Every structure is written in C-alpha cells, then in structure tokens.
Amino acid sequence: MTTTSIEGYKLGKVLIEGKTKQVYDLPEHPGLCLLLSKDRITAGDGVKAHDLAGKAEISNTTNGQVFRLLNEAGIRTAYVKHCGAKAFIARKCEMIPIEWVTRRLATGSFLKRNVGVPEGYRFSPPKQETFFKDDANHDPQWSEEQIISAKFELNGLPIGQDEVDIMRRTTLLVFEILERAWQTKNCALIDMKVEFGIDADGNIVLADIIDSDSWRLWPSGDKRLMVDKQVYRNLTSVTSSDLDTVKRNFIWVSEQLADIVPRKDHLVVVLMGSASDTSHSEKIATSCRFLGLNVELRVSSAHKGPEETLRIVREYESVMNNLIFVAVAGRSNGLGPVVSGSTNYPVINCPPVKSDNMQVDVWSSLNLPSGLGCATVLYPEAAALHAATILGLGNFMIWSRLRVKGLNNFITLKKADKELRGVRSA
C-alpha cells in the first residue's frame, strides 16, 4: 500500500531513498521535506541487512531527541519537527557527500588503519576524520585537501577551506555537547559520525539522521556493555534473539535520551541599588536569557536598606541551590561586597559606570576588604557570560550555549573575511 500523507503532510515524489530511510518532497510546503525511517538495519555498506520491526519508530524517536537537544543548544540544523512515529520534517538542503567522524577513543576501523595504536588510546582533543560517501568503494577516507580539491558546489555555495573549517569546528562541538550529555547518564560517547547539507540560503547545516547507527556508546565506559549498532556489526550469524538484543539496546538508548536535557533549576538574581539602574540591569537580563539563563531583577540598596538586602538574599538562598547574584550599583558600591560577605553563592559586580567617572566609581568594586571574593566586570554581556560560565560547570546545556556562541562568532568572522578578502589593485 502506497503512503500518500503522514500527519496531514501530503507526500510528493521520493527525492532520495537509502538503505534505512526515504526522503519525500512536500509539495504543499516549499523548502521542507519529510524523512521516513525504515524497519531495516544494515552494516558493511548494506552487505549485511535485516528487517527489524520497530526500528523505524525507535530511530525516529532517538533522532528527534538528539536534534531537539542540539537545536536548544543553538546548533544550526535542518531538523524542524517530529512528524508521526516514523518520520520527521526537515529543511531541504543539498547534502555534502562527506561523513565527518569524531573519535574520543581509538577503536574499530581506526585500529586497522593505524597499526600499532592500542585500543582505548584517548584523543585529546578528539580525533577528526573525513570519509567520502561512496558505497561501491567502501566510503574511502579523504583528506581535507581532497575535499577542497573536489570543488563541490551545493545550492550555489562552493565548498572551500572556509566551509571545511566551519564543518570541522561544528562537528567537534556537536560531539562534545553529546559527550557531556551522555556523561550525565554515566555513558561514554566513543565516536560518532555526522553529515552536513547546504540549505536554500547557502548556510551550512547539520543534517541527515543521528541515532544509534551513528555512534559508539559504552555505558560506564565499558566496551563489553556497548548499546549501539556495533553489537549488530560484530555478529557473524544473526538470529531472531540477536535482533531482539539489538532492539532492546536501541530502546534503552532512546529511553535515556528522554530526560537527558537538564532542568532549568538555576537563577541569576540581578540586584540593583536603585531603579535608575534598570536600563543597565535589563541589558544583563537580556544577555542572560540569550544564554538560556533564568533571571530576575530586584531593587535594594545595601547602604540605605541593608536589612532588606540581606532578607532578599536569604529568600533566594532558601529555595535555590544553583544561584548567582549580580550587583549593579554605581558610585560607592556597597551592594556587591555586602552580599558577597553574607553569602557563599557567587557574586558578580557590574557597576553602571560612565566614561566621565569610571576610574573613581569602579574602584569601590575592585578594592575589596580581605575575605571577599566577588568578581567585577564592566559590561552587561560580560556579567551574563561570567554567570553562565559558573552555572555551565554543572549544566551541560548552559555550557553548550556558551560554546555555540563562540562557534557562531567564528562563523561570522569567517564569512566576513571571505566576503572582503582579495587583492585590490592600486
């Protein structure tokens, strides 16, 4: 029976059909496509293949959980939304025929290609490799120079050194985000592969599918407990019982991902000494929210109402564990030092100094009595970044958003340089 629609999306022609998925055009939704997973598991470029009832739904669930996590972190992806049990909606893009592999530990094919390296050798930073997608030739490993020399052009974007640099940086960050996520489940992400596409606007986006076919995952860092497709790859003969084991592993992975995104159980409290500091404090709050931080503004003067200031501090201490105070006070800053001396939570001074009195006003935030450890920054964004750096130590999503901000800065500079570079004749 031919499927004509899924969850109200009318299916057009099949754009691509792979071993484990079909990609459909969505004629009523220009710019979008639908990826439908199959109840099929394969290995060895399709030489080993079996039907596996339920795999499509498990794969689709896992893929959605991973991409929603990466989207929340701020990674630019093609993934749009879940669409029924076995499918999802994505932005159309032209795929770059390169698999990017990132490895934390040496295992699998790496050992065969690098004789003498012991299994478990730890790569710091992670090792990155690239492979040209070509089943007939078993996806040969390609160098960076080969990728550039291939002169791929997709959706009008030539793939050169700048694009390779962006994909390399993004690949590494995707691995590190998921590695930290899996650490919260006491699982070691050993290696993984990803692919990129170019969307209609010429942007490089993380695309395709990321599921248990895409990585090696070892609970407790123990290879014997692996729960990924390698279990299937290792089978010399495949029984129904073996397939049940593989399926149970895949279900377990999906269940772990269901609640892997950490709770937003933190708070940044911006204490301002006067309502006249509201504009400065709102800039701090805006930067906090951009980084995914919960923030609340309060007004209290440590000089004019010290008892109320301490009452506010105790109020938050009684209900929050992951708590940071940002003190916004000009002239003589008593607010930050008083709060710092009265709490064990981090305190960040961000005085609303002006250029005509900066040297005088900032001194009260810098020249602190002994025993006080509050930091001082001058710009609202810096206060938010400092708060996020502290909270990110215990929350991989906040850490991830910080890292993605750095990645986006890198991409912006790359694009600007590409646009402006070139010798200009006198």
Specify whether 286 is located in the same domain as 245. Answer: no
Q: How confident is the model at residue 330 (pLDDT cuts 50, 70, 90)?
A: confident
Question: What element of type H or E holds 9?
Answer: strand 9-10
Q: What is the pLDDT of residues 301-321, one digit of tens each?
A: 998 999 999 999 999 999 999
Q: How far is CA 339 from CA 12, 307, 333, 353, 380, in A?
A: 62, 11, 11, 19, 19
Give the residue with greater pLDDT, 3 vs 247. 247
Specify whether 182 is located in the same domain as 272. Answer: no
Res 390 pLDDT > 60: yes
Q: What is the pLDDT of residues 96-134, one digit of tens each?
A: 999 999 999 999 999 999 999 999 999 999 999 999 999
What total number of domains does the chain contain? 2
Res 355 pLDDT > 80: no
Give the residue with greater pLDDT, 368 vs 99. 99
73 within a domain of the structure (yes/no): no
Pairing state between β 153-154 and 157-158: antiparallel
121 within a domain of the structure (yes/no): yes
Residue 181: name the closest of 223, 210, 224 by CA: 210
335 within a domain of the structure (yes/no): yes
Query: What is the model's pLDDT at position 239?
Result: 95
281 within a domain of the structure (yes/no): yes
Amino acid at the residue 120: G
Residue 267: name the closest of 320, 345, 329, 189 by CA: 320
Specify whether 248 is located in the same domain as 301. Answer: no
Kindly state the percentage of the chain with pLDDT values over 90: 88
Question: Which range, of 45-54, 363-372, 388-397, averages the lowest pLDDT?
Answer: 363-372
Specify whether 288 is located in the same domain as 371. Answer: yes
Res 249 pLDDT > 80: yes
Query: What is the model's pLDDT at position 44?
Result: 81
8 Å CB contact between 296 and 328: no
Phi and psi, residue 118, nearest 5°: -70, 150
242 within a domain of the structure (yes/no): yes
Domain, as residue range, for 129: 93-259
Specify whether 97 is located in the same domain as 159. Answer: yes
8 Å CB contact between 255 and 58: no
Res 51 pLDDT > 70: yes
**Alpha helices (H) in 184-265, listed in sequence order:** 230-233, 240-257
> Who's near 424: CB < 8 A, 6+ residues apart?
none
CATH number of the CATH domain containing 320? 3.40.50.1970
Domain-terminating residue out of 230, 259, 288: 259
Residue 415: name the closest of 207, 202, 205, 206 by CA: 202
What whole-number distance in Å separates Cα of residue 339 and Cα of residue 324?
11
Specify whether 246 is located in the same domain as 275. Answer: no
What is the average per-residue pLDDT within 209-218? 97
Res 331 pLDDT > 80: no
54 within a domain of the structure (yes/no): no
Tell me, rounded to whole angstroms, the distance of Cα 272 from its chain centroid: 33
CATH number of the CATH domain containing 241? 3.30.470.20
Specify whether 303 is located in the same domain as 371. Answer: yes
Query: What is the model's pLDDT at position 364?
Result: 77
8 Å CB contact between 226 and 217: yes
Q: How confident is the model at residue 1 (pLDDT cuts 50, 70, 90)?
A: low
Res 93 pLDDT > 60: yes
Q: What is the pLDDT of residues 137-148, one digit of tens each?
A: 999 999 999 999
Query: What is the model's pLDDT at position 119?
Result: 97
Q: How far is CA 226 from CA 91, 187, 221, 222, in A?
A: 33, 10, 9, 7
Query: What is the model's pLDDT at position 2?
Result: 67
Q: How confident is the model at residue 424 (pLDDT cuts 50, 70, 90)?
A: confident
What whole-number distance in Å separates Cα of residue 175 and Cα of residue 136?
28
Query: What is the model's pLDDT at position 422?
Result: 85
What whole-number distance in Å separates Cα of residue 402 and Cα of residue 290?
10
8 Å CB contact between 271 and 327: yes
What is the average per-residue pLDDT within 375-401? 96
Domain-terminating residue out of 259, 274, 291: 259
Specify whether 349 is located in the same domain as 255. Answer: no
Q: How far is CA 42 from CA 35, 130, 173, 225, 333, in A?
A: 18, 21, 28, 21, 65
SS3 65: helix
358 within a domain of the structure (yes/no): yes
Specify whether 247 is located in the same domain as 298. Answer: no
Question: Which DSSP letter does residue 263 get?
Answer: P
Kindly state the percentage of the chain with pLDDT values over 70: 98
And the tokens for 87? 């499918």
412 within a domain of the structure (yes/no): no
What whole-number distance in Å separates Cα of residue 72 and Cα of residue 404?
10
Specify whether 248 is located in the same domain as 286. Answer: no
Prior bond of 125 cis (ω within 30°):
yes
What whole-number distance in Å separates Cα of residue 426 and Cα of residue 421?
15
Question: Which range, of 222-231, 358-367, 379-388, averages the lowest pLDDT?
Answer: 358-367
Q: Exposed, middle or buried, 1 (CB in 10 Å: 0-12/13-18/19+)? A: exposed
Domain-terminating residue out of 209, 232, 259: 259
Query: What is the model's pLDDT at position 367?
Result: 81
Long-range contacts from 350-359, C-beta under 8 angstroms, 24+ separation: 350/280, 350/284, 350/326, 350/376, 350/377, 350/378, 350/379, 350/380, 350/382, 350/383, 351/376, 351/378, 352/277, 352/280, 352/328, 353/378
**Alpha helices (H) in 227-362, listed in sequence order:** 230-233, 240-257, 278-290, 306-317, 335-342, 358-361
What whole-number distance in Å separates Cα of residue 324 and Cα of residue 264?
14
Specify whether 270 is located in the same domain as 250. Answer: no
Cα torsion 103, 107, 112, 116 to 10°: value is 100
What whole-number distance in Å separates Cα of residue 390 and Cα of residue 221?
27
What is the average per-residue pLDDT within 410-425? 92
Query: What is the model's pLDDT at position 165?
Result: 98
Cβ neighbours, 10 Å, residue 97:
16
